[in-house]
Amino acid sequence: MATTKDKNKRASWDEYFMAIAREVATRSTCDRKNVGAVLVRDKMILTTGYNGSIRGLAHCDEVGHEIVNDHCIRTVHAETNAIVQAARNGVSIEGATLYINASPCWDCFKLLANAGIKKIVFGEFYREQRIHDVSLELGIALIDFSKKV
């Protein structure tokens, strides 16, 4: 990300969209992990999502967490919400890139793969090592952005 020291330097596209994903994460309503996702194709934002409860139900920050196996299951994950927003609005995400501040869990990775996402840029690695091997097998680029900043 551009700093005060190099404020005349424009942010790269990856820096730009990752900054937007981090900002989207500020809308998260599960304080165990604030996650934001941005789906992009041809340098245009298609949709965004953040982790929060099922539409119409109380959020974790209102009523607390619902923990099963050390995970809050009250929330819908950011990347899933981004896919759902695209579906609700009739937006094709085939061939898109996902920018997300934490790497996808296994279930979200499977949804992203089946939705035709071709590249995932994540800000920190979060617990699912198997996505690395499977992304190679499927030809999905998996970029650890934390190693680029």
Tokens 């900054």 map to which residue? 19
Q: Determine which one of 15, 23, 66, 79 is catalytic.
A: 79
Nearest-angstrom CA–CA distance, 80 and 95: 16
Residue 69 CB partners (closer than 8 Å, separation 6+): none
DSSP three-state, residue 22? helix
Nearest-angstrom CA–CA distance, 103 and 127: 8
What are the Cα distances from residue 11, in Å, to 3, 15, 18, 66, 82? 10, 6, 10, 39, 24
Q: Are 107 and 83 in contact (CB under 8 A)?
A: no
The DSSP bridge pattern shows strands 141-144 and 119-122 to be: parallel
Check if 15 is active-site. no
Give catalytic residue positions: 79
